[in-house]
Amino acid sequence: MNPVRTPHRGRRHTRLSTKIQNAFAIAMCAFVLALSDKAWSAQSVCVSGELATGSSHSCIALSELPDWLRKNVKRDAQGQASDDVVVQLGAGVHRLAGPIVIDASAWRSGGRKLTIEGVSADKTIVSGAIAAQTLQLSETIIAGIKLPPGVVQIPLQSLGITPPAQLFEYRFGKPVLPDLELFSNGNRLPRSRWPNSGFGTVASVDELGGLRFTVRGQDVSRYATEPALMLGGYFAHDWADETLRAGLIEKTGVRFAQNAPAYGVKVGQRIWFENALSDIDVPGEWAYDPGTQTIYVLPDAKQPKTRLEVSKALEGIVFNKVWNVLIRDIGFTSFRDNAIRIDEGLDIALKGISIRNSGGVGIRLNGRNVVANDLYVADTGAGGVSISGGNRITLSPGRVAIRNCKVERVGRLSKSYKAAIGIAGVGNEVSNCRLSDGPHAAILFHGNDHIIESNLIERFVMETDDAGAIYTGRDWTERGTVIRGNLLRDLGMPKSKYGANAIYLDDQASGILVKDNVIINSFRGVMIGGGRDNKIEGNIFLGCSDGIYIDSRGTRDVELRGAMANPGLRKSFTNVNGAGPQYSARYPELLAAGPDALGHAGNNAASDNIFTGCTSPYVIKPPAQNAMKISDTYIAQPMTLQEMIKPLTAEEIFQLRERLLGKSKKITPREATKDIP
């Protein structure tokens, strides 16, 4: 063998091997690219609004989307989507006469994503309202009532709206179907009202032949011929509002022969009248007459280019049992109830969504791994946002989350217990949100293991009493929620009887951690209403009458009824198997003192809290003297006005705490505590 030729053979072999490897690599790249193209291939469809110009003939209307998905999505043998789908909503207004429902028949993911996107939330608008033209009155006397000069009419039948035979009632604790509303240039117009602002007052009450009451300073007999008079009020309690059909109008007052307010009527309570034709006395006010099936409205003469709309669609987009969906950059407005509702969703994301003028709750999210980021909700008839998910039997989390949101001006039609954000289920989250301006609660939560963190909450409980900005209650088993790093300020209405609570753990709520919050200008900082195992740690209280209040309200019921006491809480305990292994493992303190301890306040702890400008750091109502361990209490110098009005980040809250501690003195629990009868 010629030794010289061996290396040559090796080099030729190497060159051949390299060519094969390169060819193989090219083939593999082509194969991977083919797979990649397949993986990232997507169908798309454009949706044109009423202001769109130059749209392709292939574009569809938004109301046609569910059918388009059913007929056009490419599917595999199992009926699941084989491509991603992108639905592009163009700029302009997309009007819906009724809800569009996307369910499993329209979208079965199969690992693919459905994206529904607009241009931006201020340019792509989905509306539940219909444009309305006004007509001059053919007669100025309706139902014997002379209408004020300038009033015009909107016949509902001309809009394709089924005229309601009567207006809907808002009864306390009952589900409602919101009424139609009227909008001008995108802003809600008020129904006629007496008084135009503020409230009337119940002057006297009797129960002869039903429930009858009189109104201070108002001759109600003038309403005798009103065709659809509504009566609203906090009839018996300042935490329970209702708006009802007004009953029988007599010369001496208003009589409810039946269907009276839930808790009756009490002297001195606040009331108002709505939807009286005779009360249309302010530009923009309107009233509806079922007899003529017509809206009567007094336009604002200062706005000659007014664009009037009437809400028609009950809901906007409904997702039912679908998964892997992204909704982004769309504005919603003027639906009679929810703008968006997700039921039993999975892996659904919402980004850059704006919702205004919903008659009910702006958006409802239910399922698992449903997350909304950069959400804006405003001017809702009831609550702003509702989230729920998780299983209270197994305690598996829902991971439904609202992050980086802004919710403002909620509860314009139904007020009490209509929170800016409502939370239910297990393991859900509200964080980094700014919540402002509501008559009752900002956050109302039930369930277990939620996170309420780093939110700014201001100007709530502005029309109600005995209420909380963050509220829960009436369940021994709804444990594990963490309320941490929030700034709550400027809470409660003037001259209230009981006052606002920044954080209200009502009626034996237990097992809640309240940590590192800043509370400014609230009558009461934290209320523990007879609960157990609550921890109040590292909070700052400024300008509160009571810093932390505790009672043992369940004990009274136990003393009166023994084993029959607290029946509602015992039922809830049984419903989730509170004595079973899931709850025993997750919450060992639940039954640590034995089942007989339930109903009695106990094992609460308050530590490392700072108070400045508070009348009483701790208030204890017997028999709760031993129900809370108090340690490490500090009294600090007051903050400046600038510090009290600025939003605070988590880092700034930490810095504020350190600064206050440097100017504080530590006092004993006895010095900090006031016992009350």
Q: What distance separates the 2 farthest-apart alpha carbons in the chain?
A: 130
pLDDT of residue 464: 97
**pLDDT higher than 60, residue 13:** no
Q: If you average pLDDT over residues 127-153, what whole number do you get?
A: 92
pLDDT digits (tens, 9 = 90+) for 410-452: 999 999 999 999 999 999 999 999 999 999 999 999 999 999 9
Tokens 């051949």 sit on residue: 16
**pLDDT higher than 90, residue 129:** yes
Q: Could you please report the per-residue DSSP string of 339-384?
A: SEEEEEEEEEEEEEEEEE--SS-SEEEEEEEEEEES-EEES-SS-S
Q: How far is CA 318 from CA 65, 498, 555, 615, in A?
A: 12, 41, 46, 50
* 107, two tokens: 């979208």
**pLDDT higher than 70, residue 147:** yes
pLDDT of residue 640: 66
pLDDT of residue 667: 81
pLDDT of residue 675: 72
Q: If you average pLDDT over residues 82-89, what whole number do you get?
A: 97
- With CA atoms as reference, report the closest residue to 92 among 130, 59, 47, 133: 47
pLDDT of residue 8: 39
**pLDDT higher than 50, residue 40:** no
Tell me whether strands 323-333 and 114-117 are parallel, antiparallel or unpaired: parallel
Which of 154-163, 240-249, 644-653 has the weakest average pLDDT? 644-653
* 55, two tokens: 């749209």
pLDDT digits (tens, 9 = 90+) for 360-417: 999 999 999 999 999 999 999 999 999 999 999 999 999 999 999 999 999 999 999 9
Which are the contacts of 538, defined by CB distance < 8 A and separation ≥ 6? 515, 516, 607, 608, 609, 657
pLDDT of residue 645: 64
Measured CA to CA, the distance from residue 187 to residue 409 in angstroms comes to 13
Tell me whether strands 145-146 and 141-142 are parallel, antiparallel or unpaired: antiparallel
**Is the N-terminal amide bond of 494 cis, ω within 30° of 0?**
no
**pLDDT higher than 50, residue 53:** no
**pLDDT higher than 80, residue 18:** no
Measured CA to CA, the distance from residue 231 to residue 247 in angstroms comes to 9
Measured CA to CA, the distance from residue 13 to residue 398 in angstroms comes to 61
Which of residues 321 and 138 earns the better pLDDT score?
321
Backbone angles phi, psi at 28, to 5 degrees: -65, -40
pLDDT digits (tens, 9 = 90+) for 246-265: 988 988 899 987 789 999 99
Q: If you average pLDDT over residues 598-614, what whole number do you get?
A: 95
Measured CA to CA, the distance from residue 378 to residue 387 in angstroms comes to 17
pLDDT of residue 51: 53
pLDDT digits (tens, 9 = 90+) for 186-221: 999 999 999 999 999 999 999 866 789 999 988 999
Burial pattern 131-152, b for ≥16 Cβ within 10 A else e, equals: ebebeeeeeeebeebebeeebb
**pLDDT higher than 90, residue 664:** no
Q: If you average pLDDT over residues 536-554, what whole number do you get?
A: 95
* 499, two tokens: 């006052």
**Is the N-terminal amide bond of 623 cis, ω within 30° of 0?**
yes
pLDDT digits (tens, 9 = 90+) for 463-476: 999 999 999 999 99
Q: What is the pTM of this model?
A: 0.91
Measured CA to CA, the distance from residue 27 to residue 636 in angstroms comes to 73
**pLDDT higher than 60, residue 153:** yes
Q: Per-residue confidence at 33, pLDDT binned at 50, 70, 90? A: very low
Tell me whether strands 286-289 and 294-297 are parallel, antiparallel or unpaired: antiparallel
pLDDT digits (tens, 9 = 90+) for 334-345: 999 999 999 999
Contact 372, 327 (CB under 8 A): no
pLDDT of residue 674: 75
**pLDDT higher than 90, residue 642:** no
**pLDDT higher than 90, residue 514:** yes
Q: If you average pLDDT over residues 566-590, what whole number do you get?
A: 97
pLDDT of residue 256: 87
Which of residues 329 and 675 earns the better pLDDT score?
329
Q: Per-residue confidence at 668, pLDDT binned at 50, 70, 90? A: confident
Q: Per-residue confidence at 20, pLDDT binned at 50, 70, 90? A: very low
- With CA atoms as reference, report the closest residue to 198 among 113, 270, 140, 148: 270
Q: Per-residue confidence at 3, pLDDT binned at 50, 70, 90? A: very low
Contact 209, 257 (CB under 8 A): yes
Measured CA to CA, the distance from residue 512 to residue 526 in angstroms comes to 12
- Sheet strands (E) in 393-521: 396-397, 401-403, 406-408, 421-425, 429-431, 434-436, 443-445, 451-453, 456-458, 468-473, 482-484, 487-489, 501-506, 513-515, 518-520
**pLDDT higher than 70, residue 494:** yes
Q: What is the mean pLDDT of the chain?
A: 90
Query: Which DSSP state fits 113?
Result: -
3-state DSSP assignment of residue 554? helix
Contact 450, 427 (CB under 8 A): yes
pLDDT of residue 257: 75
pLDDT of residue 660: 85
Measured CA to CA, the distance from residue 493 to residue 239 in angstroms comes to 12
Q: If you average pLDDT over residues 627-635, what whole number do you get?
A: 95
pLDDT of residue 175: 85
What distance, in Å, lies between the first and last C-alpha atoms of the chain?
114
Query: Measured at the alpha carbon of residue 410, what is the angle toward residues 220 and 458, in degrees to the nearest 5?
Result: 115
Give percent of the chain with pLDDT exceeding 90: 78
Number of Cβ within a 10 Å radius of residue 123: 16
pLDDT of residue 655: 82
